[in-house]
Structure 1
């Protein structure tokens, strides 16, 4: 006898199916809106943009130094939900919808949140290592920060390609899925160059991509690396809920 996870059948929903991709979209967009209006309030009160960055953004974006991380250790997680550019969050949310929905439909919603968080942390660590050991990036350390869900989305892109390498988004258009992943990588790098004028996020994208590859390769072998995390989250979120009925297959 085994317990079978009921997978999501619709691309995006807010109903009982608890679409994890939609929830991540809502969190990212909500954080962006809150920061946007906070910046407006700072401007109305006559504060310069530097004041907003120092008072608010510096406490949610990932710093490029380990000393900065020790002062604000939560930025290891908050940065993957924080976008400081309209174009960055727009492109990231489109790609999150694309890759996240595909991965969710092929591997189940329980893969989404653990992979998002794990790849975001690995991407953040790779970013900081790159800032310290890549000579071209070292000069940017005093003011560089990492923002956005790019590493997590890259993990989902690679993970989705691992799970369904022959999948076609458009059945009538024979474009392999890896090409779409490559387009995402190029667009993401260009977006960061346009907005931040640097390539410091490339190590984060590599770290996220490798995490997605390893995570989903293990899942295909029957090793769910996020099983323990999902159990903890389930117990916390259902602490005061009545016991749900699982579908049992004999």
Structure 2
């Protein structure tokens, strides 16, 4: 069994080298800024908001029907990096920075991106299945879409809690990390169910949470489910790097 040491008093940081969380945050924020300015340009040109939705958002948000997914299969990936409101991007990025950095510090940056992507895919599949199988959801299909990193953030939250449930974010504050996760779960439910009156995201959140639990539980046992993905991405990103001619002298 892999030994996991819960570090105490280590501050959260987004400025270290090889920080996968910084890269994921930048991608999400960049996509939001591009969409924001694109919407402004559409408005300046006199287009109605529906035009922007049909021309742009429909190309990146996850549709609620299987037919829509077959027409836009790339949305199963783009939707997990797309946020179409300031409140959504702000709240999601705060939680993403918190849980993602926690997981990165206790399990390494190699765990963050594979879990983010895998849980986003599982969340998207659970969302589409829920829209097909739950009768009250089927009525909402014509206008329903899924957007945002909520499923991935749920996975990172559960995954970080599995790895270090008793970790203290602040050494002088006697609150274990699992309490922070519990607060996050309550806030998420209130935001989606009570404030937004939207239950359709619940299957995606459940799928993301279960993925995070299974992924990091396996990692603690010594099984890295993202090892293959990391090897492939390493080869791709280093494909054109010059090979070193240095030899190790023993």
| Length-normalised TM-score, structure 1 | 0.90
Superposed displacement of residue 213, structure 1: 0.3
Write the distance in 2 (CA, Å) between the matches of 1:108 and 1:242: 26
Specify the alignment match of 2:203 in structure 1.
203
Residue segments in structure 2 that go unaligned for 5+ positions in a row: 1-10, 245-250
Superposed displacement of residue 166, structure 1: 1.1
Alignment of 1:1-250 (within 5 A): 11-13=13-15, 17-193=17-193, 196-243=196-243
**Counterpart contact for 1:88–1:191, Cα < 8 Å:** no
**Counterpart contact for 2:122–2:211, Cα < 8 Å:** yes
Write the distance in 2 (CA, Å) between the matches of 1:203 and 1:130: 6
Write the distance in 1 (CA, Å) between the matches of 2:82 and 2:240: 30
CA deviation digits over 1:128-181, x for unaligned, max 9?
111111222111111100000010010000000000111111222222222211
Superposed displacement of residue 61, structure 1: 0.3
CA deviation digits over 1:171-209, x for unaligned, max 9?
222222222112212222333357753121111111000
**Counterpart contact for 2:39–2:52, Cα < 8 Å:** yes
Number of residue pairs the alignment of both structures matches: 235
Write the distance in 2 (CA, Å) between the matches of 1:53 and 1:186: 31
Against the structure 1 CA distance between its residues 61 and 194, is the aligned structure 2 distance closer, same or farther, given a 3 Å change threshold?
A: farther
Counterpart secondary structure, 1:115: helix
Write the distance in 1 (CA, Å) between the matches of 2:89 and 2:213: 24
CA deviation digits over 1:40-79, x for unaligned, max 9?
0000111111110000000100000000000000000000
Kindly report the root-mean-square deviation, in angstroms, between the aligned alpha carbons of the 2 structures. Answer: 1.8
Against the structure 1 CA distance between its residues 55 and 195, is the aligned structure 2 distance closer, same or farther, given a 3 Å change threshold?
A: farther
Counterpart secondary structure, 1:142: helix
**The 10-residue stretch of structure 1 (128-137 or 112-121) with the greater mean CA deviation from structure 2:** 128-137
